[in-house]
A = this chain, B = another copy of it.
Amino acid sequence: MNAFVAALRARLGEAGCLTDGDLSAYETDWRKRYPGRALAVARPASTDEVAAVLKLCHEHRVAVVPQGGNTGLVGGSTPDDSGQQLVLSLQRMRRIRAVDGANASLTAEAGCVLGEVQAAAAQAGWLFPLSLAAEGSCTLGGNLATNAGGTQVLRYGNARELCLGLEVVTAQGEVWHGLSGLRKDNTGYDLRDLFIGSEGTLGVITAATVKLYPQPRERLTALAACPSLDAAVALLSRARAAAGDALTGFEVMSRATLALVARELPALPQPLPAAAWTVLLELSDAESAAHAQGVFERLLEGALESGVVTDAAIAQNLQQAQSFWHLRESIPLAQAQAGLNIKHDISLPVSAIPGFVAEMDAQLTAYQRGIEVINFGHLGDGNLHYNVQAPQGVAPAAFLAAHEAAINAQVYDAVQRRGGSISAEHGIGRLKREELAARKDPTALALMRSIKRALDPLNLLNPGRVL
């Protein structure tokens, strides 16, 4: 190992190879759930240096944990506690290589912080729509390695849908020059999408070409009260038909969710009276504020008449729009204040959601009286954060210790029966690896293992993650 670290230092220099001092920022995730110990931290500054690192790892049989902003939620980007795994941080590779306005594309290195990519696009008059809570510190490479979701998926898709081409270093230290600004290219297998979402287990993404979009002229937000989840699904269909792709947000919050927010954050205004479901709609209009206003008014009038919506409010100014979003975004804070809870990041066909929620709510209430389901999320994407909180008066930690496994099993069983996913946007990492092995289609698992063996036969790339 000493020979390996020496060779690494010789190739990358002092700044590129950390072994001493406090490495905890690299060794532990930001939520401090996955503390580990690294053999060393490699910080290459170029694609050639990444290739050199991986060649050395291959030669010395050293396992590599690629790392971007280290903001993941599933333990995918920190080393285990053996002290034998190399952390490969991409943070020094943060050049915006090109912005091509006529082609509506941008090429950036993997270590660029998402917010910097958004800013580079905006500076050139374009929108890079990927947006999520960690955008101030997560990196483009990490976003692609985990196929990040976020708040704009309904309209623009996940990170996958925003990517045109990749530059990747393989387990053997070879560089695939797959950067491309092409919208159409049928020359062979889709390697790009194989690396996207593979969580660093098949190769190391060093740069990407992504799609840019015209900046919307106007963003408008509304809240609507729905008497049932079926009504919310009906409102989604209506909104899609009325607004087409101008519909960029469709978030739902259950009555219990907003009651929790009222309890924990009493100063936060709630514009609509309590309802079974409150929907936040966002419209991004290419034309004008007046046009967006007209679309919303027609949509909501029709929905009110038909009973799909019982009450509604359109934000009258930017401040009001921000307060609507703030309400939605304050849910995790309210949950954190209320104490530990059991989180689920599930997705279902939108049509299956009302049935799932009715069944699950009843089942969990029967399982444990007083359980609180804090259910909210991106209904437009079929993605719910179906979180479960201890009955009031019961200590959360004790509740979790006693019931988390049983509740997870019930939720995941029901998700599986309805063709859903146990990880809609967060990935697998270490957290859900065993769950995946138990629940994924066996042929899919066999295919995944074949591909892993083919591309990384020595199992050096992020071993023990995903598979």
Contacts and interface: CB of A to CB of B under 8 A. Distances in A.
A101 B193 contact: no
A463 to B, nearest CB: 15
Contact of A286 (B103, B243, B428, B447): B243
Interface in A94-119: 100-105
Interface string A137-173: 0000000001101000100001011000000001000
Interface in A196-253: 196-198, 202, 214, 216, 233, 237, 240-246
A105 B103 CA distance: 30
A4 B443 CA distance: 25
Interface stretch (A79-87, A310-318, A364-372, A449-457): A449-457
A41 interface: no
A196 B190 contact: yes
Given A351-B102, A382-B103, A436 B188 contact: yes
Contacts of A426: 186
A417 interface: no
A260 to B, nearest CB: 24
A428 B103 contact: no
A181 B183 CA distance: 24
Copies in the assembly, this chain: 2
A347 interface: yes
Contact of A146 (B178, B186, B351): B186
A420 B185 CA distance: 8
A381 interface: yes
Given A186-B197, A214-B244, A286-B242, A102 B237 contact: yes
A177 B158 CA distance: 23
Contact of A423 (B174, B186, B295, B421): B186
A246 to B, nearest CB: 7
B441 A447 contact: no
B188 A419 contact: no
Contacts of A193: 190, 193-194
A341 interface: no
A37 B245 CA distance: 49
Given A186-B147, A186-B428, A286 B444 contact: no
Contacts of A176: 441, 443-444, 447
A349 B100 contact: yes
Contact of A105 (B170, B246, B349): B349
A191 interface: yes
A276 interface: no
Interface of A: 100-105, 146-147, 149, 153, 158, 160-161, 170, 174-191, 193-194, 196-198, 202, 214, 216, 233, 237, 240-246, 286-287, 295, 347-352, 378, 381-383, 419-428, 432, 436, 440-441, 443-448, 450-451, 453-455, 466-467
26 contacts: A100-B349, A102-B351, A104-B240, A153-B184, A174-B446, A177-B444, A181-B419, A182-B420, A184-B347, A184-B421, A185-B421, A186-B423, A186-B426, A187-B440, A188-B197, A189-B197, A189-B451, A190-B194, A190-B198, A193-B194, A194-B451, A214-B241, A244-B246, A246-B286, A447-B455, A451-B451
7 closest Cβ contacts across the A-B interface?
A: A454-B454, A102-B351, A193-B193, A181-B349, A244-B286, A185-B421, A245-B245
